[in-house]
Amino acid sequence: MERGDAPALEGAIVDLYISLHALGSKYSAAERKVLDIRSGYSCYPGGLLPLIMAGPHIRRESIVVDLGAGNGLQGLFLQRLYPHRKTLQVELSGEMIRIGRVFQQALGIPDNRITWINDDILNVSIDSADFIYIYRPARPQGKGREIYRAIARKLTEGHRPRVVFSVADCLGEFLDGFSVFYTDGHLTCFRKD
C-alpha cells in the first residue's frame, strides 16, 4: 500500500475490522437450533460509523448492551473508546464469547467493565441499559419479526431515557415513544427521553 493513499488505507482498515469481527463464528448444535428457530443470522459486522457516532451518547455512568454481540468487538471498542460503567455482551455462541474474552484481554479492558451473557437475547433483561446496540440478529420476516417486537417491548417498558443504535434497522416500526435522530439507510439511531 502506498503512503498517502487514504482510500486504500481506509479499505485495509475496514477489511481488518471485518476479519476480526468474524473470528469465532461457530455455533454448537443446541445454539444453532435456537438460531434457526429465531430465524437468526450468524455473524455480520456492524461497521465503523456506529463506533464513531456513539461518543456523545455514552457517559461514564452508562450501561451499554450489545444484543447479538458475536465476539463482542463492537461492545469492546465502545468500552475502549468511551469508557463507561458496564458493557453487557449478549451472545448465543459460546465459542464467540470465548474469542471475545481473548479480545477483551488484548484490549486491556478489566472484567468489571464487561459482562458476557451466553443466552438467547429474548431471555436477557435489558432494564438497566441506557445505550443499546443491535445489528439485525434475525431475518425481519416470520418468526424474526417476533424477535423485533419482543425487543421493542423491552425497550419501551419503563421511563428511563435510552439511545438505540440499530444497524440494518428492523426495530423502528415497533418502537413506541422513540424518535429518530439519525438515519442513513444502514444505521438508524433512536432516542427516548
Q: Give the residue with greater pLDDT, 115 vs 139.
A: 115
Domain covering 6-192 assigned CATH 3.40.50.150 in the classification: yes
- How much is the average pLDDT of 117-137? 92
pLDDT of residue 136: 79
Spatial neighbors of 27 by CB under 8 A, at least 6 apart, are 35, 42, 92, 93, 95
Whether the pLDDT of residue 11 is over 60: the answer is yes
Please report how many Cα atoms fall inside a 13 Å half-sphere around the Cα of residue 42, on the Cβ side: 14
pLDDT band, very low/low/confident/very high, at 174 (cuts 50, 70, 90)? very high
User: What is the domain partition of the chain in residue ranges?
Assistant: 6-192
Question: Cell 440478529 maps to which residue?
Answer: 137
What pLDDT score was predicted for residue 2?
56
Specify the pLDDT at position 147.
87
State residue 46's pLDDT score.
59
What confidence score (pLDDT) does residue 170 get?
A: 87
State which of 10-19, 108-117, 118-127, 164-173 shows the largest mean pLDDT.
108-117
Among 32-41, 62-71, 155-164, the range of highest mean pLDDT: 62-71
Question: Helices 6-22 and 73-81, interaxial angle, to 10°?
Answer: 120
Contact present, 77 and 68 (Cβ < 8 Å): no
Q: How many residues does the chain have?
A: 193
Asked if pLDDT for residue 131 goes beyond 90, the answer is: yes
pLDDT of residue 36 exceeding 70, the answer is no
pLDDT at 6: 65
Q: What are residue 64's DSSP bridge partners?
A: 87, 131
pLDDT at 141: 80
> Model pTM?
0.81
Better-scored residue on pLDDT, 63 or 139: 63
Mean pLDDT of the chain: 86
Condensed to tens digits (0 to 9), the pLDDT of residues 61-113 reads 999 999 999 899 999 999 999 999 999 999 998 988 999 999 999 999 999 99
